[in-house]
Amino acid sequence: MSAALLADLHRRCFTVPPPWSEADFAGFLADPQCRLITRCDGDHLQAFALFRIVLDEAELLTLATDPEARRKGHARALLQEGLVVAHAAGARVCYLEVAADNLPAISFYRGMGFAQAGLRRGYYHAPGLPPKDALVFRAVLDGRG
Protein backbone atom coordinates (compact mmCIF):
# COMPACT_ATOMS: atom_id res chain seq x y z
CA MET A 1 0.00 0.00 0.00
CA SER A 2 1.47 3.33 -0.97
CA ALA A 3 1.92 6.27 1.37
CA ALA A 4 0.21 8.46 -1.26
CA LEU A 5 -3.00 6.38 -1.17
CA LEU A 6 -3.05 6.40 2.61
CA ALA A 7 -2.52 10.18 2.74
CA ASP A 8 -5.27 10.73 0.15
CA LEU A 9 -7.83 8.74 2.16
CA HIS A 10 -6.72 10.37 5.40
CA ARG A 11 -7.29 13.81 3.81
CA ARG A 12 -10.83 12.82 2.86
CA CYS A 13 -11.57 11.69 6.42
CA PHE A 14 -9.99 14.27 8.72
CA THR A 15 -9.76 17.99 9.19
CA VAL A 16 -9.25 17.93 12.98
CA PRO A 17 -6.93 16.39 13.78
CA PRO A 18 -5.23 17.60 10.60
CA PRO A 19 -4.66 14.87 8.01
CA TRP A 20 -1.24 13.30 7.77
CA SER A 21 1.00 13.80 4.77
CA GLU A 22 2.45 11.28 2.35
CA ALA A 23 5.80 11.74 4.13
CA ASP A 24 4.16 10.98 7.49
CA PHE A 25 2.76 7.73 6.14
CA ALA A 26 6.05 6.82 4.46
CA GLY A 27 7.71 7.09 7.87
CA PHE A 28 5.11 4.86 9.50
CA LEU A 29 5.34 2.28 6.72
CA ALA A 30 9.12 2.14 7.21
CA ASP A 31 8.78 1.66 10.98
CA PRO A 32 9.03 -2.05 11.91
CA GLN A 33 6.88 -1.40 14.99
CA CYS A 34 3.93 -0.27 12.87
CA ARG A 35 1.25 -2.53 11.43
CA LEU A 36 -1.06 -1.45 8.63
CA ILE A 37 -4.35 -3.24 8.05
CA THR A 38 -6.41 -2.35 4.99
CA ARG A 39 -9.75 -3.03 3.34
CA CYS A 40 -9.92 -2.65 -0.45
CA ASP A 41 -12.54 -3.11 -3.12
CA GLY A 42 -10.45 -4.01 -6.15
CA ASP A 43 -7.95 -1.17 -6.53
CA HIS A 44 -9.95 1.19 -4.30
CA LEU A 45 -8.75 1.67 -0.71
CA GLN A 46 -11.89 1.70 1.42
CA ALA A 47 -10.42 1.80 4.91
CA PHE A 48 -7.26 1.32 6.92
CA ALA A 49 -6.02 1.12 10.49
CA LEU A 50 -2.48 1.89 11.56
CA PHE A 51 -1.11 0.53 14.82
CA ARG A 52 2.23 0.86 16.59
CA ILE A 53 3.28 -1.98 18.88
CA VAL A 54 6.06 -1.45 21.41
CA LEU A 55 6.78 -4.21 23.91
CA ASP A 56 3.49 -4.92 25.73
CA GLU A 57 1.60 -1.84 24.51
CA ALA A 58 -0.15 -1.06 21.26
CA GLU A 59 -1.49 2.24 20.03
CA LEU A 60 -4.08 2.78 17.36
CA LEU A 61 -2.46 5.68 15.52
CA THR A 62 -5.31 6.27 13.09
CA LEU A 63 -8.35 4.61 11.61
CA ALA A 64 -9.86 5.96 8.40
CA THR A 65 -12.82 4.84 6.31
CA ASP A 66 -13.71 6.37 2.95
CA PRO A 67 -16.85 8.46 3.55
CA GLU A 68 -18.61 6.52 0.76
CA ALA A 69 -17.75 3.17 2.39
CA ARG A 70 -18.91 3.95 5.92
CA ARG A 71 -21.51 1.99 7.88
CA LYS A 72 -20.40 -1.29 6.28
CA GLY A 73 -18.38 -2.73 9.18
CA HIS A 74 -14.92 -1.84 7.86
CA ALA A 75 -13.81 0.05 10.98
CA ARG A 76 -15.02 -2.69 13.31
CA ALA A 77 -13.28 -5.40 11.28
CA LEU A 78 -10.04 -3.40 11.05
CA LEU A 79 -10.00 -2.65 14.77
CA GLN A 80 -10.76 -6.26 15.71
CA GLU A 81 -8.05 -7.58 13.39
CA GLY A 82 -5.56 -5.01 14.63
CA LEU A 83 -6.18 -5.91 18.26
CA VAL A 84 -5.65 -9.60 17.49
CA VAL A 85 -2.41 -8.78 15.64
CA ALA A 86 -1.23 -6.57 18.51
CA HIS A 87 -1.98 -9.25 21.10
CA ALA A 88 -0.18 -11.89 19.04
CA ALA A 89 2.84 -9.53 18.91
CA GLY A 90 2.87 -9.34 22.72
CA ALA A 91 0.74 -6.29 23.46
CA ARG A 92 -1.43 -6.55 26.55
CA VAL A 93 -3.12 -3.13 26.26
CA CYS A 94 -4.03 -0.80 23.43
CA TYR A 95 -4.36 2.97 23.63
CA LEU A 96 -5.85 5.56 21.30
CA GLU A 97 -6.77 9.24 21.28
CA VAL A 98 -10.05 10.59 20.00
CA ALA A 99 -11.33 14.15 19.77
CA ALA A 100 -13.54 14.84 22.78
CA ASP A 101 -16.33 16.14 20.52
CA ASN A 102 -16.30 13.14 18.15
CA LEU A 103 -19.30 11.42 19.72
CA PRO A 104 -19.77 8.74 17.03
CA ALA A 105 -16.12 7.64 17.37
CA ILE A 106 -16.32 7.68 21.17
CA SER A 107 -19.43 5.48 21.05
CA PHE A 108 -17.74 3.15 18.57
CA TYR A 109 -14.60 2.73 20.70
CA ARG A 110 -16.62 2.18 23.87
CA GLY A 111 -18.61 -0.48 22.04
CA MET A 112 -15.32 -2.15 21.11
CA GLY A 113 -14.27 -2.46 24.75
CA PHE A 114 -12.26 0.74 25.21
CA ALA A 115 -12.70 2.93 28.29
CA GLN A 116 -11.51 6.46 28.94
CA ALA A 117 -8.16 6.50 30.69
CA GLY A 118 -7.24 10.18 30.45
CA LEU A 119 -7.70 13.60 28.92
CA ARG A 120 -5.26 15.70 26.89
CA ARG A 121 -6.41 19.31 26.94
CA GLY A 122 -5.85 21.25 23.72
CA TYR A 123 -4.23 18.22 22.06
CA TYR A 124 -5.52 18.73 18.53
CA HIS A 125 -4.57 21.89 16.63
CA ALA A 126 -5.76 23.03 13.21
CA PRO A 127 -5.06 26.40 11.55
CA GLY A 128 -7.71 28.96 12.36
CA LEU A 129 -9.54 26.77 14.87
CA PRO A 130 -9.36 26.63 18.66
CA PRO A 131 -7.50 23.62 20.09
CA LYS A 132 -9.59 20.53 20.82
CA ASP A 133 -9.24 18.18 23.73
CA ALA A 134 -8.45 14.52 23.18
CA LEU A 135 -9.72 11.65 25.25
CA VAL A 136 -7.26 8.84 25.85
CA PHE A 137 -8.90 5.43 25.66
CA ARG A 138 -7.49 2.07 26.76
CA ALA A 139 -8.49 -1.54 26.22
CA VAL A 140 -7.01 -4.64 27.79
CA LEU A 141 -6.17 -7.24 25.16
CA ASP A 142 -7.02 -10.82 25.95
CA GLY A 143 -6.59 -12.46 22.56
CA ARG A 144 -10.27 -12.72 21.69
CA GLY A 145 -11.13 -11.55 18.21
Q: Which residue among the candidates 59, 68, 81, 97 is catalytic per the annotation?
A: 97
- Which residues contact residue 39 at a Cβ distance below 8 angstroms, ignoring those fewer than 6 apart? 45, 46, 47, 48, 69, 74, 77, 78
97 carries an active-site annotation: yes
57 carries an active-site annotation: no
What are the CA-CA distances from residue 110 to residues 13, 17, 23 (Å)? 21, 20, 31
Q: Which residue among the candidates 22, 81, 109, 124 is catalytic per the annotation?
A: 109
- Which residues contact residue 86 at a Cβ distance below 8 angstroms, ignoring those fewer than 6 apart? 35, 51, 53, 58, 94, 141
- Show which residues are catalytic: 97, 109
